[in-house]
Amino acid sequence: MFRALDPDFAGVAFERRDAPFLHGLGSVPKSGEEFVDVQLCHHVSCSARTGSYRTEAGNRDRGTSLREMLDRRLLLVSGKGGVGKSAVSAALAIVAARKGKRVLALAMVGPNGLAAHLGVASLSYEPTRIRPGLFGASVDRSHALDEYLGLQIHLARSLPTRQLSNAISVLADTAPGIREIVTIGKPIFEVWRGEWDLVIADAPPLGQLQSYLSAPQTITGLVPTGAVREQASRLESTLSDPAVSSLLLVTTPEELAVQETREAIAEIDTGRQILIGGVIANRVLEPLGVAADAIAAIPEGPARAAGLLHTGLAESQAVWLESIPRDTRLPFLFGFHTPGEVAARLADILEGFM
């Protein structure tokens, strides 16, 4: 009834065959239920260019893996909705710019989160300068489509590009792969442009990430010949080149976020669309260093309640932290009011790790 998702991993990861959504970690199957080990693709034979996350980057020193991610040309940042991926994207962009790089921070879906963390009111399709070395932009689909068709596929000027892109714009709402390829295309075009040392893309949340990462393959599967197909294979090879591109997964030490992160690691280790450069656990609570019993023994009141809340949450987090790679951890930030303050603080912390 159960199959192990990843037998090498510490802890127990499984999914129920009869109910694939009932998957998780940390629990042992009830007695009497079958437990079958299933080898994942990367243990057997995978021929793509990127390696398995664990074998190549998994347990590396956090400073090294952070530096390596910033030294490549493209960094995609993803995670379950609500874990702080825009904050981490902005923080890493700030760090890279401080280190003297010319950086583009690019929001792939919905500019609001990244804009707020970069401390600007909005982001536009055209990169704008935020501070020395740091530029911000956001992908909006109709502009991206124009660029995809006009600039990248080199349509002859005589063709009615505007009309054509209107047609394809509505098509993009229906045909699989087009919305995604145009969106994943933008950060890669920016890398090709050669104007930036580093493009950091605040990527779609994990639930949607796969359809973006696989968009080039989807297109090559659907379109037998032509410029679009050629373009798609070029995108695919930039994305999967471990010297150029990597993916950072952000999570929080909670059940759903950890579960989705582990599923993403397994899927990408299998699909090999991009190198996983690292995993960041965000909003981690450090243990107080005093026993819960000692706290429980003091008189009722806010100090006891806050102490027990912290201890309880930290204990529960520790369980989930066990089942993700020992990579970078960022602390829970108390009392920070604005997204801009959060990003600046995270940038200081990350810089300290490097």
Contact positions with other proteins (CB under 8 A) in 232-251: none
Stretch of residues binding other proteins (CB under 8 A), selected from 118-126, 193-201, 224-232, 239-247: 224-232
CB atoms within 10 A of CB 129: 9
Beta bridge partners of 288: none
Our CB check for other proteins shows the closer of 101 and 229 to be 229
Backbone angles phi, psi at 148, to 5 degrees: -60, -45
* Binding residues among 199-218 for other proteins as defined by CB under 8 A: 205, 211
Backbone angles phi, psi at 258, to 5 degrees: -65, -45
* Binding residues among 322-341 for other proteins as defined by CB under 8 A: 334-339
Closest approach of Cβ 272 to other proteins, in Å?
A: 22
- In angstroms, the CA 313 to CA 310 distance is 5
**Residue of 8, 59, 63, 82 interacting with other proteins (CB under 8 A):** 82
Token pair 């992160």: residue: 261
Our CB check for other proteins shows the closer of 82 and 100 to be 82
Our CB check for other proteins shows the closer of 11 and 81 to be 81
Closest approach of Cβ 275 to other proteins, in Å?
A: 25
CB 251 within 8 A of CB 257: yes
Closest approach of Cβ 71 to other proteins, in Å?
A: 30
Stretch of residues binding other proteins (CB under 8 A), selected from 37-45, 90-98, 225-233, 243-251: 225-233
Our CB check for other proteins shows the closer of 86 and 240 to be 86
Closest approach of Cβ 334 to other proteins, in Å?
A: 4
E strand or H helix that includes residue 181: helix 178-193
If binding means CB under 8 A, how many residues of this protein chain bind other proteins? 73
**Residue of 4, 76, 116, 346 interacting with other proteins (CB under 8 A):** 116
Closest approach of Cβ 18 to other proteins, in Å?
A: 6
E strand or H helix that includes residue 251: strand 245-251
* Binding residues among 246-305 for other proteins as defined by CB under 8 A: 255-257, 259, 288-290, 294-295, 298-299, 301-305
With b for 16 or more beta-carbon neighbours within 10 A and e for fewer, the 253-292 pattern comes to bbeebbbbbbbbbbbbbebbbbbbbbbbbbbbbeeeeeee
DSSP category for residue 285 = P
Beta bridge partners of 15: 3, 23
Our CB check for other proteins shows the closer of 65 and 220 to be 220
E strand or H helix that includes residue 159: none
- Taking every pair of Cα atoms in the chain, the longest distance, rounded to a whole number of angstroms, is 81
* Binding residues among 118-147 for other proteins as defined by CB under 8 A: none
* Binding residues among 158-187 for other proteins as defined by CB under 8 A: 159-160, 163-164, 167-168, 170-171, 173-176
Q: Does 321 bind other proteins (CB under 8 A)?
A: no
- In angstroms, the CA 81 to CA 94 distance is 22
DSSP category for residue 56 = I
